[in-house]
Structure 1
Amino acid sequence: MKTFTLNLFIAFFLSPVAFHAQNITTVEAKTDDISNNLDLELVATLFGEAIDLEDFEYSLNNPYTRVSNLDLNEDGEVDYLRVVANSMDNAHLITIQAVLGFDHYQDVATIDVEKNSDGEAHVQVVGDEYLYGSNYIVDVLFQFLPDIIDFLWDLIFNPWKSSYSYNNYPSYYRTCEPYPTNIYAQNVLIQNNTYNIYCYTTVRKSETCKELQYRNRRNDYEIKYPTKSFANRNKGLINKYELDQKISYTETKSQKINEIKISTGKKVLKEWKPASGIAGGSSLVK
């Protein structure tokens, strides 16, 4: 019996389950900025896995996966996200809008899908400037060609609009409170398809999609709260990409200072310089 118990104990800690448990990554949200409450890479993942626009809208609002953490109207509940699609020539614009009240919507992000002369579809996810700053754009290369691309080119309705609205939600939908930002960041990590390739750019390739957005954009929340724009929330920064880079730099700098404190056990002055950079070779570390 003792031998069996010992073998079972060893087998458990050498098992794949136990090994996986030792490699769980904890993610900390970098800031509490609104733009951290809907990850555009995850939006691209869901778009690539959807079979049609209804399926895409379902995935954005699935209460079990909690893809969105947006609560723009600050009612303590995550906003329902509806999908609207417009097309012109060889381009389709898919718009994600937060439903905030009766006929009260705010564009959150758009997905540009345009085919070139060879019939190849190019996809970009564009964060709305009010939430994400100017030209926060994700170029997406999918592991496999999404089924929804064929659906868009077979679509006979233009525009296509979600049949749901404020207080008129699908049966599967459940209201829920927003996650703490660090929990939402962990949720994003778990669900994101890392086999896709995401590249950040400031160049929006489809002029047609830009025109479609200009004609159809809804910004009711922005009109009501103009001072809550990204530019006002983050002075001196262009978009969320710059915000993330700034926070990463600050965290790295802070980590290095902490490492110096740990290695010397002494206080680091603000004007600290290495001994080689000080006249006479004396150190300012005391």
Structure 2
Amino acid sequence: MMIQRLLLLPLAAAALLLSGCGKKDTQYVTTIVQTAADGLNLQAVTDLATKVKTAEEFEKKLNEKGNQINNLDLDEDSKVDYIKVTEINQDGQHGFSLTTELSAEENEEQELCVIQFEQGADKQVTVQTHGNSHIYGNNHYYHHRTSMTDVLLWSYLISAHRPYYSPWGYNRYPSYYSSYSPRSSAAYNNHHKAQPYAKNIQSSTKPAVQKPIKSPNFNKTASKIKAPLKNPTASQKSFQKRNPSKTLSSRKGFGSKSSSSRYGSSSSSRSRSSFGGGK
């Protein structure tokens, strides 16, 4: 027994030495985890959709700097992207598709989300916002159920009118609009976390409406997006590989400190990806 113990001691020491060497050689990588999804808070969008009276007013409020709802900068030109509103009115279903144009080039328009209003038998209205899968990841929903009288848009939606289709786009803006720079991600997120809708509007991975609406813009994807995406298409991945986001930064080294950018900061970890999970 004594001989066995003596033989085991050198082996244990060697194991400790190798373990120590492994820790010493560990290379830590820190990567910013902010994505394009952090530029448009869908709870704020859902809340705003209950407080405006027309589609045109909805578009105006979405893009007003003072409302602090739109902080998107998909092409990273240091200007917040203008959001277009397309009204959807099909087979008794009502809603909106939100898109943005990244350039004057054809096929450079990106759908951001789809908002739907559905009336139940109890005269309650479900307001649901479905985030675009490329930006927010798969199955990303926010919803709120409330009285018809609390949805100021409802009377507009069910009235006889010509559905609104935004006439604006890239470098074609209404006279009241002026471009502005994005806020820091930390300031933007902190603002929305402090609002009542952060608790009142629920998230889910399944639709809260009975008949999900089909967006006329469902196939609109822009390839030239620099901001990190949760679920990019092949063309978006290819473009981002050639044109990496300036909001991503990483430091490699032994026990390196956290890195940061204008979009926020992250803590050190062995390896963290900026493209996983939902918002």
Shift of residue 113, structure 1, vs aligned partner = 1.1
Alignment of 1:44-193 (within 5 A): 44-102=46-104, 103=106, 104-117=108-121, 119-142=123-146, 145-158=150-163, 160-189=164-193, 192-193=195-196
8 Å CA contact retained: 1:45, 1:193: no
TM-score (norm 1): 0.63
Shift of residue 105, structure 1, vs aligned partner = 1.5
The one of the two structures with greater contact order (alpha-carbon pairs below 8 A, sep at least 6) is: 2
Deviations 1:171-208 (A, max 9, x none): 22111111111111233245x34497211111114464
* Same amino acid, percent of matched pairs: 23
8 Å CA contact retained: 1:137, 1:202: yes
Q: Measure the CA separation in 2 of the matches of 1:146 and 1:69.
A: 25
Unaligned runs of 5+ in 1: 1-29, 241-286
State the superposition RMSD in angstroms: 2.8
Deviations 1:112-167 (A, max 9, x none): 11223455422111111111111110111347621101111114224x20121221
- Call closer, same or farther: CA 1:195–1:207 in 2, change over 3 Å: closer
Aligned twin of 2:201: 198
Q: Which has the higher helix share?
A: 1
May I ask how many residue pairs the two structures share in their alignment?
205
Letter in 2 for 1:203: K
- Call closer, same or farther: CA 1:87–1:226 in 2, change over 3 Å: farther
SS of structure 2 residue aligned to 1:123:
strand
Unaligned runs of 5+ in 2: 1-31, 233-272
- Call closer, same or farther: CA 1:196–1:227 in 2, change over 3 Å: closer
Alignment of 1:1-12 (within 5 A): none
